[in-house]
Amino acid sequence: MRRFTVYDSLSRSTREFAPIHPPRVGLYVCGLTPYAPAHVGHGRTFVFFDVVARALRRWGYRVFYVQNVTNLDDKLIARGGEEGIDPLALADRHFLGYLASMERLGVRSVNYYPFATDYVPEILEQVRVLLDRGFAYVAADGSVYYEVAKFAGYGRLSGQKVEALRAGARVEVDPRKRSPEDFVLWKAATPGEPSWESPWGPGRPGWHIEDTAMTVRLLGDRYDLHGAAVDLIFPHHEAEIAQAEAATGRAPLVNYWMHGGLLLFDREKMSKSLGNVISLDEAIDSFGPGPLRLFYLNAQYRGPLDFHPDRTLAEAREAYARLAVGIERIDDLLERDGPERPGAEPPEALARDAQELVERLDRTLTDDFNTREAIALLFGWTRRIAEHLSQLETYSGAGLEELAAPYRWAEEVLGLFARERGSRAGAWGSIVPVAIAARARARARGDYAEADRIRDELRRAGVELEDGAGDTRWKAVGGA
RNA sequence: GCCGAGGUGGCAGAAUGGUUAAUGCGACGGACUGCAGAUCCGUUUCCUGGGGGUUCGAUUCCCUCCCUCGGCUCCA
């Protein structure tokens, strides 16, 4: 197991990681409340934690990655009401859409997506324990509230003092609460909403309780890593700590709290009210999965990242194309001739540098997942490869594979390039070479009108031709 | 107001108590090309918010001020 450091939001410091039960690592990331399609901001968070899980697995840890789905809450009920759909069905629909987006982005590292409503027994049990231990009280209408004043550590994660929270409270005080900072564990049922029987009457889970009910069940009283974006620190994560540590009597609930920065849209937070939300699928459509992942990972994960409408897209595309130059050429050759293709060995120094670079890439990521630095190193490698671009043709399959090692690393850990490789194995793979050959014959006899006609026709179909010295390369652009 | 993250070249965005401050985009020049595109090579010297302090030396550490963004019970 490779050692690494993580910035832990609770201690506000970068700490060396030590798993509770090596080599196993419990990783929990707050998932979506799927009341609407996922947007680009969600993509940033989930791609980043995908990289965390990939890296840990590469380094020898056995990661159990759980990402919850809040499939019932006020917004789902409201939205369902507007659209005349059962809120649970609405959640299912958007969650499936989310899964499809994740698949397109190459996010496949999550082991289990538990649904809140599948954990009602665990939730009821935890509420009961909190009541027994005196951390909660039942209101007149049958709702159960957590009494924040009873939990000494409340406010530590967010750095907020309870008094300050009261002073800054933006919501009106609910008369059912003993104190404004108390939060609901179990909501008394309102007619027409999904509800479950409970010792306190019919109701449904509050927002924070599902997470701790799930994690205690799935990951234990204490676990290693909890991830999410910063906007969930307060009140959500604060409440998780209060619930779980009070209920189990064990602390800390989480050893390392990881919080990713938000994706901004033209310097402002994305939000429905500002009308600046771009859906994740829209972004994948226009960027392509590779450039979008590159855009996300090209910044320190803890800082804000600005999505600028036109600039961002153009830059990500150009940068990705540049980065992929080397691996595309290598894969072209390997695809054409197979891994056993004969040829010379690449210069020893170059092959050795490839190996050393892979080690350096891993080391770079062990510094609190510095994906940005790793990408800078990969650009450097592309520069090296580009200098040898014309010699690549002469190298053996094994030799090419050696030079590809840094890119294979990027595929395994950062999830770059994977999707693009093999894209030409599809229908184009058999058609385009024939068209290119016909065009080459036209060019050879000086019939440029015909040559241009073929090129234009392919372009309309989404295939871009590039004439180089000797041969013509092609690539599928747009969708695919 | 309180808590947190930041202010770096035309733009995005790294890093380090000390030779030319990474990388990418853009721009410019060249190579290649039937033309174009893509690609390759080269150039882009004068960039680290203001003011103090510590130090032989600070962008990096400390103080202070200014500004931006986020959180303060909808939020990835």
Cβ–Cβ contacts within 10 Å for residue A384, how many? 15
Measure, in angstroms, how far nucleotide B1 C1' is from residue A167 CA.
9
Element spanning A466, H or E: strand A463-467
Does residue A50 contact residue A260 with C-beta atoms inside 8 Å?
no
Under-50 pLDDT residues of chain A: 168, 421-422, 425, 478-480
- Scanning A59-161, the segments in alpha helix (DSSP H) are 74-83, 87-105, 120-132
Does residue A68 contact residue A128 with C-beta atoms inside 8 Å?
no
Rounded alpha-carbon distances, angstroms, from residue A204 to A33, A34, A121, A134 = 15, 17, 11, 21
Nucleotide nearest to A466 (CA to C1'): B38
Task: Give the contacts of A269 (CB within 8 A, at least 6 positions apart).
Answer: A262
Q: Which of the 8 DSSP states describes residue A217?
A: H
Measure, in angstroms, how far nucleotide B6 C1' is from residue A450 CA.
57
> Which residues is A16 bridged to in the sheet?
A5
Q: Which tokens is A455 given?
A: 């090129």
Q: Which tokens is A451 given?
A: 């040559």
Q: Which tokens is A461 given?
A: 């179909």
Give the pLDDT confidence score for residue A479 in this predicted structure: 40
Q: Is the dihedral of CA A176, A182, A185, A187 positive or negative?
A: positive
Task: Give the contacts of A157 (CB within 8 A, at least 6 positions apart).
Answer: A9, A10, A233, A234, A237, A238, A241, A257
Placement of tokens 């094994």 in the chain: A398
Nucleotide nearest to A377 (CA to C1'): B23
Measure, in angstroms, how far nucleotide B40 C1' is from residue A124 CA.
65
CB-contacted nucleotides of strand B (7 Å)? 1-6, 11-15, 22-26, 32-41, 68-76
Give the pLDDT confidence score for residue A361 in this predicted structure: 93
Give the pLDDT confidence score for residue A304 in this predicted structure: 83
Give residues 206-225 of chain A lying near strand B (Cβ < 7 A): 207
CA distance A454 to A438: 8
User: Judging by DSSP bridges, how do beta strands A183-188 and A305-307 pair with one another?
Assistant: unpaired
Tell me how many helices (H) and strands (E) chain A has. 15, 15
Give the pLDDT confidence score for residue A203 in this predicted structure: 95
Q: Is A205 helix (H, G, I), strand (E, B) or coil?
A: strand
Q: Is A148 helix (H, G, I), strand (E, B) or coil?
A: helix
CA distance A235 to A452: 62
Closest of A434, A419, A423 to residue A472, by C-alpha:
A434
Give the pLDDT confidence score for residue A88 in this predicted structure: 93
Give the pLDDT confidence score for residue A274 in this predicted structure: 67
Give the pLDDT confidence score for residue A120 in this predicted structure: 96
Placement of tokens 């690549």 in the chain: A392
One-letter amino acid at A408 equals: R
Measure, in angstroms, how far nucleotide B33 C1' is from residue A307 CA.
37
Q: What is the ipTM of this complex?
A: 0.90
Give residues 313-352 of chain A lying near strand B (Cβ < 7 A): 314-315, 318-319, 321-322, 325
Give the pLDDT confidence score for residue A116 in this predicted structure: 94
